[in-house]
Structure 1
Amino acid sequence: MSTTLECIAQWITRQRWYAGKGHEPRLRILSHESVPSDDPDARVSVLLVMDDEGNIPTLYQVPIVERSSVQPAQHAYLIGQNDEGDYIFDGPHDEAYPRALLALLAPDLAREVTVTRSTVLSGEQSNTSIIFEIDGTPSIICKVFRALHHGDNPDVTLQAALSAAGSTAVPRFVGEMHGEWDDVGRPNGRASGHLAFAQEFLAGAEDGWKVALRFAAEGSDFTELARSLGEQTARVHSGLASVMPTTEATDDAIAGFGVSWARRLRLAIQEVPALLDSRDDIAAVYETARTGTWPLLQRIHGDFHLGQALLVPERGWVLVDFEGEPLRPMNERDRPDVALRDVAGMLRSFDYAAGATPGNPTEWAEACREAFTAGYLAESGVDIETFRPLLDAFELDKAVYEAIYEARNRPDWLAIPLRGIEHLLAARTARLGA
């Protein structure tokens, strides 16, 4: 038997959300908070565990349930047995923790309803989502953040603000939970951030990426759905601009975008030598955008693609996962940005749907791109000719990022962003020559 921390150290390396792949964890507990439970046989608590191994220490949230015995069906989520003889279970998979969590997130709701069952959503990489059945019907989904960061999580703040304003373009917000922990790097020695939040569960919702892949494989017309997704995206941008701060694109801010584009291009050329011949043309696009007209900066989705949109029966498109790019520090994700970054992300996603489909139906992708853009422009009133250089720059930057990612992780997919870059540059040359 081992201490609870030793049990977690052996278990954590097998979890998909553990970021320290390739090294043995060096853990210490920053916080161990007991959580009230209605199960007399369970002791529920939440541990905040720092892994000091690796280049950057990472803080993890580990909810646990301790029990005096283990049933055969519980072995799949057993963390271990500690020195006291207690069996330790991963909290989200044990019914005691989800009920306790809902009572903390939405105490009034928890008193009014009966949670008949909870299940963990499979396939997630960085967080853990729990679906709550109320009186036998899946009704609420709660996201438990595993890797914690100082500062408010935009996945919570943006969706909560839109929901409070009455938007149906995001799931209805239910509740949120903050936490605090010691941090010697903060001026007051303490850090804080979101631990979890809950929102309505959208029954029958289909992942936009899977829907698009099905349409592409069948050669079916996706343009009506693409256009409505563009319209919904514009409504979300308008809603965010109305409930969150906006700011002028200052010279310093614009220079910052330019530095980011140039840095990413340099890295891409090092890792994808095939881009060397296009370097000057790409840099020219960035320079044209940098010296052109810029809109107000505002809060945006930040990591927008087909997988972040759900197609809900009798409701249409609903946007989710506003957490931003996972690799960006949390303090950068809450900065005002350019709404066209989201547009560019979705345009690239249509190219990816075609590239992932046998036969690479480029005409299908182009029709989707045009329909999405038309829907966005019609709803937003943006003058695309005024901001075309900026959209080109963001789409190129996204494709350059994709080239780096594919070269590192999926070399067989590298042709998708390389074709995208070639197409974007050719289309710009054709417009300039017109």
Structure 2
Amino acid sequence: MAKTALHRPSGLGLDSAPLLTSLAELLRAWLPRQRWFAGKGRPVTDLTLVSSTELYPGCLHLLVRTEHLDPPSHGGPGTPPPDDCYQLLLGVGDVLPPRLTHAFIGRPDTGPLADMVVYDALHDPKAAGKLLECLRRPGTAGPLRFERDTRVAVPAGLAPRLLETEQSNSSLVYGDSFILKIFRRVQPGINPDLEVPWALSRQGCTRVPAPAAWFRTSRPQEATLGVLQPYLREAADGWTLALESLAAGRGFTDEAYELGRATAEVHLALASAFPLDMPSPRQNIRLAAAMSERLDAAVRSVSELQPYARGLRSAFEALAALDTAIRPAQRIHGDLHLGQVLRAGRQWSVIDFEGEPARPLAERRRVQSPVRDVAGMLRSFDYAARSRRPWRPEWAQSCRETFCAGYAAEARWDPREEPELLRAYETDRAVYEVLYEARHRPDWLPVPMAAVRRLAERC
């Protein structure tokens, strides 16, 4: 793959110390207001400029490390670390065009950017277009490395638009043909959202859009920064389709059955693409112990869990007591729910293999039981059913059963035949949901708490 150096003009002062002098105060105020910022409720105490690259005059690519005050709780699943590294694309100029007023960050008082306008350049079509050109013509820009699959043609001049619905990342759609996911929170190593779809495409799996191009950094360590994939413009996500079904009073069993088949098909391809880990009863004990630790931490953070802790823990104790080995561990999706699947016609596709962004990258790349993905989807059906009033438990239950039936038809094994493992994973997921909703969406807390009560009563 040929590589060329991109032009890097001077003039903005890319030395870390002077540049940070200009940006530190602005970023301390701006970062916590962004939806993808992981350290909600914890003020930024310090900033470090990890790398800075000028993609063209007035467009800076930055990796910025933030340090925070200690979290206000006892920690638990999904607790952000005391520091994070974020990817930023900043525009700098004398005047901000009116069409970019919503992207305004501020005007530095000191340093090389004093009195200049600083804005989020992902909203700028020129900057977004430059990223596409870098991906179309692989090369380097400082520590940045742009690469692509040479078998895929990516046309020039595709009009970009920034999706406004992203939370943990940002996505640019180019001409309704490609979508570029930009990982805002950067961790060392290859991101599963590049690694897994690339491997599945080599297996001939058509359920997952294959990467067309990607970019990464070599400083301070190798890390994936973004992935370009085909954009399925005619598809609707599973969450939207489920809510439409509920609103119209329709069932969702046909869709759930086909979704189960699609999930099993992806799991089978993953089992062929990556090494398996043959299980042992001792692994049951270790898995149950990790789930119990997460429950203990969540109970310390969310008092509403306390009355149900004993019943929930019984699910993990039942798993630990199994004297037979469970199904082999393998690479999985890791955060499967209705928002991570798309349907066009009768074809389901699975997207977003990043896993739970709050968890360490090494953990997200670890082999796990495919039952974890099944449990995540079962919880998602329950979320959809409870998002509308009156609650329709029979809708969720029928979806759960037909999803598992579709999965079994494709995989030749039924997750319901491993009830201890399925209950343990569903309980672990519900505990995670309680902690997430308590921190980020308190109005939604009754949804996972209803599952907590149901799961605790099964002891």
Q: Say yes or no: TM over 0.5.
A: yes
SS of corresponding position for 1:328: coil
Task: Choose the corresponding residue for 1:14, options 14, 28, 33.
Answer: 33
Q: 1:262 aligns with which of 274, 279, 292?
A: 292
Structure 1 residues 169 and 408: CA distance shift in structure 2, 3 A:
same
Rounded to whole Å, the distance in 1 between the matches of 2:283 and 2:174 is 43
1:181 — aligned with what?
219
**Which stretch of the first structure deviates more once superposed, 23-32 or 326-335?**
23-32
In the comparison of the two structures, how many residue pairs are matched?
A: 410
Question: Is residue 351 of structure 2 the alignment partner of residue 320 of structure 1?
Answer: yes
1:309 aligns with 2:341: yes
Q: Is 1:118 aligned to 2:160, yes or no?
A: yes
Tell me what 1:201 maps to.
231
Counterparts of 1:86-101 in structure 2, within 5 Å, are: 86-101=116-131
Give the aligned residue type for 1:231.
R
Deviating more after overlay: 415-424 vs 165-174: 415-424
Q: What is the 5 A alignment of 1:192-231? A: 192-231=222-261
Distance (Å, rounded) in 1 between the aligned partners of 2:446 and 2:383: 10
Deviation (angstroms), 1:141: 0.5
1:134-153 alignment runs, 5 A limit: 138-153=176-191
Q: Find the aligned partners of 1:216 and 1:266 in 2 and give their Cα distance.
A: 35
Query: What is the aligned partner in structure 2 of residue 170 from structure 1?
Result: 208
- Whether 1:47 aligns to 2:62 is yes
Per-residue CA deviations over 1:176-209 (Å, capped at 9, x if unaligned) read 1111333xxxxxxxx2211111101111221211
Q: Post-superposition shift, 1:383? A: 4.3
> Could you say if the C-alpha distance between residues 25 and 78 of structure 1 is closer, same or farther in structure 2, counting changes exceeding 3 Å?
farther
1:71 and 2:97 are equivalent in the alignment? yes
Which of 413, 419, 423 lines up with 1:388 in the alignment?
Answer: 419
Check 1:106–1:243 CA distance in 2 against 1; reply closer, same or farther (3 A cut): farther
Q: Deviations over 1:190-240 (max 9, x none)?
A: x22111111011112212112111212322010000000000000111111
The answer to which of 167-176 and 374-383 deviates more is: 167-176
Task: Identify the match of residue 46 of structure 2 among 9, 26, 39.
Answer: 26
Tell me by how many angstroms 1:112 deviates.
6.1
Cα shift at 1:67: 3.3
How far apart, in 2, do the equivalents of 1:359 and 1:374 lie? 27
Task: Give me the CA root mean square deviation.
Answer: 2.6
Q: 1:293 to 1:15 in 2, by over 3 A?
A: same
Unaligned runs of 5+ in 1: 183-190, 430-434
* AA aligned opposite 1:380: A
Structure 1 distance, partners of 2:435, 2:69, is 23
How far off its partner does 1:364 sit?
0.9
Select the residue among 296, 310, 313 that pairs with 2:328: 296
Change (3 A) 1:4 1:384: closer
Please tell me whether the aligned partners of residues 65 and 96 of structure 1 are also in contact (alpha carbons under 8 angstroms). Answer: no
Change (3 A) 1:206 1:410: same
Cα distance in 2 between the residues matched to 1:111 and 1:239: 25
In structure 2, C-alpha distance between the alignment counterparts of 1:92 and 1:16, rounded to whole Å: 14
**Whole-angstrom distance in 2 between the partners of 1:178 and 1:117:** 23
Q: Distance in 1 between matches of 2:45 and 2:376?
A: 35
Give CA-to-partner distance per residue, 1:346-372, whole Å, 9 cap, x none. 111111111111111011111110010
Query: Is the contact between residue 5 and residue 29 of structure 1 (CA under 8 Å) also seen in structure 2?
Result: no
Partner in structure 2 of residue 106 of structure 1: 136
Give the aligned residue type for 1:61. Answer: Q
Q: Which residue of 2 aligns with 1:401?
A: 432
Looking at structure 2, the residues matched to 201 and 359 of structure 1 have their Cα atoms a distance apart, in angstroms, of 35
Moved more, 197-206 or 402-411: 402-411
Segments of structure 2 that go 5 or more residues without pairing to the other structure are 1-18, 71-81, 139-149
Could you tell me whether the CA contact under 8 Å between 2:280 and 2:326 is conserved in 1? no
Counterparts in 2 of 1:43 and 1:393: CA distance versus 1, 3 Å: same
Change (3 A) 1:174 1:69: same
- Residues 150-201 of structure 1 show CA distances to partners (whole Å, capped at 9, x for unaligned) of 111112211222123332211232111111333xxxxxxxx22111111011
Q: Does the 8 Å contact 1:13/1:25 carry over to 2?
A: no
Match of 2:277 in 1: 247
Identity of aligned residues (%): 37
TM-score norm. by structure 2 comes to 0.82
Assess, with a 3 A threshold, how the Cα gap between structure 1 residues 105 and 165 changes in structure 2: closer, same or farther.
farther
Q: CA deviation at 1:62?
A: 1.0
Query: Which residue does the alignment assign to 1:154?
Result: 192
Q: CA deviation at 1:278?
A: 4.7
Residue 105 of structure 1 contacts residue 197 of structure 1 at CA under 8 Å; is this kept in 2? Answer: no
Aligned residue in 2 for 1:186: none
What amino acid maps onto 2:182 in structure 1? V
Distance 2:202 2:253 in 1: 31
